[in-house]
Amino acid sequence: MSDPLKPRDGADVEAAIQWALAGGKTLEVAGRGTKRAIGRAAQWDATLDLSALSGVTLYEPEELVLSAKAGTPLAEIEALVAASKQQLAFEPMDYGPLLGAAPGGGTIGGAIAANLSGPRRIKAGAARDHFLGVSAVSGRGETFKSGGRVVKNVTGYDLCKLLAGSWGTLAAMTDVTVKTLPRAETEATMLVVKLDDAAARKAMAAAMGSYGDVSAAAHLPAAVAARIAATANAGAAVTALRLEGVAPSVAQRKTVLEAVLAPFGTLGALDEAASRTFWRAVKNVMPFAADGPSGTRDLWRISTVPAHGPDVGRRLAEQADAEILYDWAGGLIWVALPPSADANAALVRAAVAETGGHATLIRAPAAVRAAVAVFTPEPPPLAALTQRVRDSFDPNGLLNPGRMWAGV
Amino acid sequence: MPVAMPLPDDAVLKRRAEIVAALRSIVPGEGVIASDEAMRPYESDGLTAYRQLPMVVVLPETTAQVAGVLFYCHREGIKVVPRGAGTSLSGGALPLGDGVLLGVAKFNRIREIDFDNGVAVVEPGVTNLAVSQAVEHAGFYYAPDPSSQIACTIGGNVAENSGGVHCLKYGMTTNNVLGCELVLMTGEVLRLGGKHFDAAGYDLLGIVTGSEGLLGVVTEVTVRILKKPQTARAALIGFPSSEDAGDCVARIIGAGIIPGGMEMMDGPAIKATEDFVHAGYPLDVEALLIVELDGPGAEVDYLLERVQEIARSCRAVTCRVSNSEAERLLFWAGRKAAFPAVGRISPDYYCMDGTIPRAKLPLVLKRMRELSRHYGLRCVNVFHAGDGNLHPLILYDANKPGELERTEEFGADILRLCVEVGGVLTGEHGVGVEKRDLMPAMFTQTDLDQQQRLKCAFDDKGLLNPGKVFPTLHRCAELGRMHVHAGKVAFPDLPRF
């Protein structure tokens, strides 16, 4: 591995990729490298370090739009928009604590390349839903753009969607434009305690189907709830539902939720400050942080049909010593399993296959990530299309080869 | 027809009888339509200035039939144009004389309603409104609501990434679709997404949505259904100038309020609609805003007060707030009838669809007035103000020689203006044939080539809806070539930036 290539601008990125093309080299595309440990463990000839492409180039709060160079720290952007009482509504999680890196280290380009989201995914979407425009350099060494700086745009294919969640395997993004949205004036969280996973799912579904306009719904079994300060003293499983908005609205919806949730069990509540802290911990999956009691466990992230979340959880708990955190009203399951040579991949994939969805191995030693599929394997016709899509951007396969799937 | 379409393939046309017979063996009974008389309803979509009879119309009923038709056409090198309800305003479903028109009208069932997971699984020929109607008994609805929602289909909505008046708050089709079944031109059937969130690998559903029927044929769609807001109230606010109205929109959003809908009309639009529906619109104002707040009653009442305060500080001269559902609907009646109202004051009108950064509205309106004088054609503006999506209506008379051509030139100038101020060619109607040749105003050849390479990944022979979206057709092999010569690039040695 040689020294990283550190482009200063888009032209440098083009030159770097053309250099790799000419020399038959492969490149690791990285922002600040905070998510480097996610994906298949693979080898590259050089790192294309985009962290010097940094800085917000446009922010117009009243137009709900922000443009930045792809290597701009996410924390810088979040602080900037917060000063105008706005936010990135997709609530991007920070993988740092899970992977043993310092918190707040990622870039906006990385957030998009990993299609990050958070507890608000169920209401506001993921990075893909807020990604308006891009300039990027393909694996052909050509700069192309897609989208724009307006929220409503159907001009040409929506390449932004494809780049979001492509983990740097299609192009190196140089400039991105995202939608910003007003931050809720206040928030509160309703709690139901002592529910088992199945009852918790029913409570969350009832809340989601009510006029409560819930912006986050998570269930923490007792052992997991004990690891978050705001819920530790419950001494039991906690099911949490977040309400955000202007104060009169939050107050009215609290009454709505109380009526919906009362039949399920004992209710509690978190005030604004406790609610913010609690959801930050859920967003970043702090109960399974690298420096915590489950830090050496393998960690899977499963997206499934929300109603089947508890079924997946039950199967995994029956067959392994699984620690589980449910978000997205049961649709997102974080599963921490005791370390093993194959990260229990067969077990996890079988549980998900039964209910629909996908599983990604987020944390495991490099040897394990080299041995088992990290991303969900695709059936043959879909895998072939994936390969053709990849080839259409990067025919020589020089950008992050093998990071998502072996050979792709 | 001013837009050149791909030249018909004589070899295909000569085989028409054989092709029709082959299609009949795949789709039996009335599913294949071959007489000119019966194909007439399919000769255009909502952009009626463009007309072309297809070679043959096929209306399959099952995924297997769709796969069979596409497999056959791929093998035989026959072009295919997919069609929903044909309400496109950009010519996206314009047939080809040597092509099969594949309609999804018979895919008209709602397969599953799953309130527990907040989704509905529907066939592509189901109308947009039918989805909301099927779930309204439980207080749910499907959020995207294009104006044509009573007729347009979910399949067409996916193809066009349709929006509507509520998309500032609730998103467009792409933000409300979780999965689909997709048939590729080869006849291969794929499942993308499902009832869960986000893609396992590349977000192919995201790229198919808004691809204007160029990448595949959708045979099933999983959409999110949302709980209907508990209440909705609207404010009708008049301003002495569009600048003041635009300022008000910016300040509402700047105050952290995202209304469910925020629509603007200019003076001529207000007059045309008021004369038609008598909604009680003020006639002595130059711009009218409808601001609708939705959600819990306490929230709506609270925010409506704030909106009124902001309006007063922006020189609003009239402000009415709806106090009943009937009154709210009356406020909307004029806006929703804007197109037919304009139809009453002009023999023909041409609806444009650009998006601009909102702050550029006064400049764009001023330049449009100049263009209007230059072309000698009247122009009326309705505007999704929250998200900057303009719908200028150019009034013309198709029976006056040269007027349609002048109208199209005027329209093209408006769209170029949108791009010039940082906006885009189309906010929700699609490129189709209408804006195809304007694409270079927004994209470089490299940008377009990359998009076309992606098209090749889905459709290697370029048989699916050719002649739409891209101004020039390329063979996939030609696009795949790469020109790299070792030693001739900028940094022959390892660069250090």
Pairing of strands B318-321, B231-239: antiparallel
Contact B298 A251 (CB under 8 A): yes
* Residues A282-309 pLDDT 10s: 999 999 999 999 999 999 999 999 999 9
Q: Provide the pLDDT for residue B483.
A: 67
Q: What is the token pair recorded at B191?
A: 């499942």
For residue A123, is pLDDT > 70?
A: yes
* Residues A82-96 pLDDT 10s: 999 999 999 999 999
Q: How far apart are CA B82 and CA B94, in angstroms?
A: 9
Q: Provide the pLDDT for residue B202.
A: 97
Nearest in space to B204 (alpha carbons), one of A159, A236, A223: A159
Write down the domain spans for chain A: 1-183+378-408, 186-283, 286-371
Q: How far apart are CA B186 and CA B189, in angstroms?
A: 9
Which residues of chain B are within 8 Å of residue A2 when distances are taken between CB atoms?
494
Nearest to A375 among B200, B299, B489 (CB): B200
Q: How far apart are the first and last CA of chain A?
A: 21
Query: At B486, is the pLDDT very low, low, confident or very high (cuts 50, 70, 90)?
Result: very low
More confident of the two residues B340 and B180:
B180
For residue A137, is pLDDT > 60?
A: yes
Please give the distance of CA A397 from its chain centroid, rounded to a whole number.
Answer: 25
Q: Which residue of B lies nearest to A357 if distances are taken between CA atoms?
A: B196
Q: How far apart are CA B350 and CA A13, in angstroms?
A: 44
Size of interface A-B (CB pairs under 8 A): 309
CATH topology of domain A186-283: Alpha-Beta Plaits (3.30.70)
Q: Provide the pLDDT for residue B494.
A: 45
**Best A58, A155, A393 residue to mutate vs chain B (most B CBs within 10 Å):** A155
pTM equals 0.96
Q: How far apart are CA B428 and CA B430, in angstroms?
A: 6
Q: How far apart are CA B62 and CA A55, in angstroms?
A: 52
Nearest to B424 among A3, A148, A304 (CB): A148
CA of A385 to nearest chain B CA: how many angstroms apart?
7
Q: How far apart are CA B115 and CA A329, in angstroms?
A: 13
Q: What is the token pair recorded at A295?
A: 């830090």
Find where tokens 């406020």 sit: B331
Contact B496 A5 (CB under 8 A): yes
Which residues of chain B are within 8 Å of residue A146 when distances are taken between CB atoms?
447, 451
Quick one: average pLDDT of B273-289?
A: 95
Q: What are phi and psi of A70, to 5 degrees?
A: -65, -25
CB A289, CB A281: distance < 8 Å: no
**CA distance readout (Å), A258 to A186, A320, B71:** 18, 36, 56
Query: At B1, is the pLDDT very low, low, confident or very high (cuts 50, 70, 90)?
Result: very low
Domains A186-283 and A286-371 are alike in CATH topology? yes
* Residues B311-337 pLDDT 10s: 999 999 999 999 999 999 999 999 988
Q: Provide the pLDDT for residue B492.
A: 42
Which residues of chain B are within 8 Å of residue A138 when distances are taken between CB atoms?
450
Contact A152 B167 (CB under 8 A): yes
Quote the mean pLDDT of chain B: 94
For residue B111, is pLDDT > 80?
A: yes
Tell me, what amino acid is at A252? Q
**Best A64, A145, A154 residue to mutate vs chain B (most B CBs within 10 Å):** A154
Q: Provide the pLDDT for residue B491.
A: 46
Q: Provide the pLDDT for residue A311.
A: 97
Question: Which H or E run contains A231?
Answer: helix A229-232
For residue B495, is pLDDT > 60?
A: no
Q: What is the token pair recorded at B152?
A: 């347009």
Contact A161 B211 (CB under 8 A): no
Query: At B199, is the pLDDT very low, low, confident or very high (cuts 50, 70, 90)?
Result: confident
Quick one: average pLDDT of B477-491?
A: 65
* Residues A369-392 pLDDT 10s: 999 999 999 999 999 999 999 999
* Residues A327-346 pLDDT 10s: 999 999 999 999 999 999 99
Q: Provide the pLDDT for residue A2.
A: 58
**CA distance readout (Å), B364 to B222, B242, B245, B427, B437:** 39, 11, 14, 16, 22
CA of A118 to nearest chain B CA: how many angstroms apart?
12
CB A163, CB A112: distance < 8 Å: yes
Residues 6+ apart with CB under 8 A from B257: A182, B293, B303, B306, B307
Tell me the residue ranges of DSSP E strands in B24-148.
32-33, 56-58, 79-83, 99-103, 110-114, 119-122, 140-141
Q: How far apart are CA B116 and CA A382, in angstroms?
A: 29
CATH topology of domain A1-183+378-408: 3.30.465
* Residues A214-226 pLDDT 10s: 999 999 999 999 9
Residues 6+ apart with CB under 8 A from B443: A145, A156, B451
CA of B370 to nearest chain A CA: how many angstroms apart?
25
Question: Which H or E run contains A323?
Answer: strand A323-327
For residue B30, is pLDDT > 70?
A: yes
Contact B427 A8 (CB under 8 A): no
* Sign of the alpha-carbon torsion through B50, B55, B61, B66: negative
Q: Provide the pLDDT for residue B496.
A: 45
Nearest to B443 among A156, A251, A305 (CB): A156
CA of B34 to nearest chain A CA: how many angstroms apart?
32
Q: Looking at residue B161, what DSSP letter applies?
A: T
Which residues of chain B are within 8 Å of residue A15 when distances are taken between CB atoms?
489-491, 495
**CA distance readout (Å), A360 to A9, A62, A347, B147, B201:** 33, 37, 13, 40, 10
* Residues B120-172 pLDDT 10s: 999 999 999 999 999 999 999 999 999 899 999 999 999 999 998 899 999 99
Q: How far apart are CA B144 and CA B164, in angstroms?
A: 6
Would you tell me the crossing angle of helices B361-375 and B242-254 to the nearest 10 degrees?
150
Q: Which residue of A lies nearest to B171 if distances are taken between CA atoms?
A: A129
Q: Provide the pLDDT for residue B2.
A: 65
**Best B202, B257, B418, B458 residue to mutate vs chain A (most A CBs within 10 Å):** B202
Nearest to B299 among A125, A149, A252 (CB): A252
Q: In this predicted complex, what is the ipTM? A: 0.97
Would you tell me the crossing angle of helices B338-345 and B325-336 to the nearest 10 degrees?
50
Quote the mean pLDDT of chain A: 96
Percent of chain A whose pLDDT exceeds 90:
97
CATH architecture type of domain A286-371: 2-Layer Sandwich (3.30)
Tell me the residue ranges of DSSP E strands in B296-357.
318-321, 348-351, 354-355
Quick one: average pLDDT of B286-295?
A: 96
C-alpha angle with apex B159: B157 to B163, nearest 5 degrees?
40
Pairing of strands A238-245, A357-363: unpaired
Contact A23 B486 (CB under 8 A): yes
How many C-beta atoms lie closer than 10 Å to residue B409's C-beta? 15
Which residues of chain B are within 8 Å of residue A159 when distances are taken between CB atoms?
207, 450-451, 454
For residue B63, is pLDDT > 90?
A: yes
* Residues A160-197 pLDDT 10s: 999 999 999 999 999 999 999 999 999 999 999 999 99
Which residues of chain A are within 8 Å of residue B194 when distances are taken between CB atoms?
305, 356-357
Which residues of chain B are within 8 Å of residue A156 when distances are taken between CB atoms?
431, 439, 442-443, 447-448, 451, 469
**Best A12, A18, A153, A179 residue to mutate vs chain B (most B CBs within 10 Å):** A153
Q: How far apart are CA A258 and CA A189, in angstroms?
A: 11
Which residues of chain B are within 8 Å of residue A141 when distances are taken between CB atoms?
484, 489
Give the residues across from B180 on adjacent strands.
B192, B221
**Best B186, B203, B304, B384 residue to mutate vs chain A (most A CBs within 10 Å):** B203
C-alpha angle with apex A185: A179 to A191, nearest 5 degrees?
105
Which residues of chain B are within 8 Å of residue A142 when distances are taken between CB atoms?
446, 449-450
Q: How far apart are CA A309 and CA A293, in angstroms?
A: 24
Q: How many residues does chain A have?
A: 408
CB A215, CB A250: distance < 8 Å: no
Q: Which residue of B lies nearest to A245 if distances are taken between CA atoms?
A: B299
